[in-house]
Amino acid sequence: MPVPYWEIICICWAVFWSYWTIRELRWHRSKRKVALTFTVFNSGLLYLGFIMVLLGRSVPSWLGLLLLPQAIPIQILGTVFAIAGVGFAIWSRQSLSSNWSRNVAILENQQFIHSGPYTIVRHPIYTGILLALLGSTLVSSTLGNLLGFIFAMISLWQKARTEEKLLITEFGQQYADYQRDVRFLIPLIY
C-alpha cells in the first residue's frame, strides 16, 4: 500500500488552520498598524499562493506541468518539511501568546518576545509556513504549486519587512540589537 503523502500534507494544513482559527478568537486592540491597502494586497497575494500550493495537482492545463519526478525521497522530504514547518509555526505562534496579530500592527501592551523559536529566526511563524509550503510544493511538484510558493514567499517577506519597521519604532535599540544577533527568516543564512 503506497504512503499517502498528499493526505499527510492535508492533515498538517488542517491542524495548522484549526489551531490558527481557535487562537484567533482572542482579539487585542492595535496601538499602531499599517495601511489597509497593504493588508488587503498582501493578504490577497498570500492566500492566492496558499490556494495554488494546496490545489496540489488539481491545477488546470499548463499549471499542472510536473517539475520534479514523483520519487519517494522527494515525497518523504516534502512531507517532513510540511510536518516540521507546521510544528514550527504553531510553536512560534504559541510563544507569542497575546502579542500576535493577524495584521501588521503593534498591540497595546505588546511585549518584545525573543525566546523559544525567536532565538532561531526573527520571524519563525513565516519560516514555518514557508517550510510547510515548500514541503507541500515538493510533494505535488507542479508549476502552479511553485508559483503559489513564490507568491506566498513574496507576501510573507513583505509582511516581515513591514513588521520590522514597526518593531524598530516600538522597541528601538533593543530590537536593533536583536536584528543584529538573529537571522531574518532562514537560520544561520538569512
CATH code, 33-181: 1.20.120.1630
Q: How far is CA 124 from the centre of its chain?
A: 8
pTM of the model: 0.91
In tens, the pLDDT along 21-64 reads 887 765 667 777 788 888 899 999 999 999 999 887 776 778 87
Show pLDDT as tens, one digit a residue, over the chain (190 residues).
467 898 999 999 999 999 888 877 656 677 777 888 888 999 999 999 999 998 877 767 788 777 888 889 999 999 999 999 999 999 999 998 888 888 888 888 888 998 999 999 999 999 999 999 999 999 998 899 999 999 999 999 999 999 999 999 999 999 999 999 999 988 878 8
Residue linked to cell 510544528: 87
User: Pick from 126, 69, 168, 36: which is nearest to 78 by CA?
Assistant: 69
Segments making up each domain of the chain, as ranges: 33-181
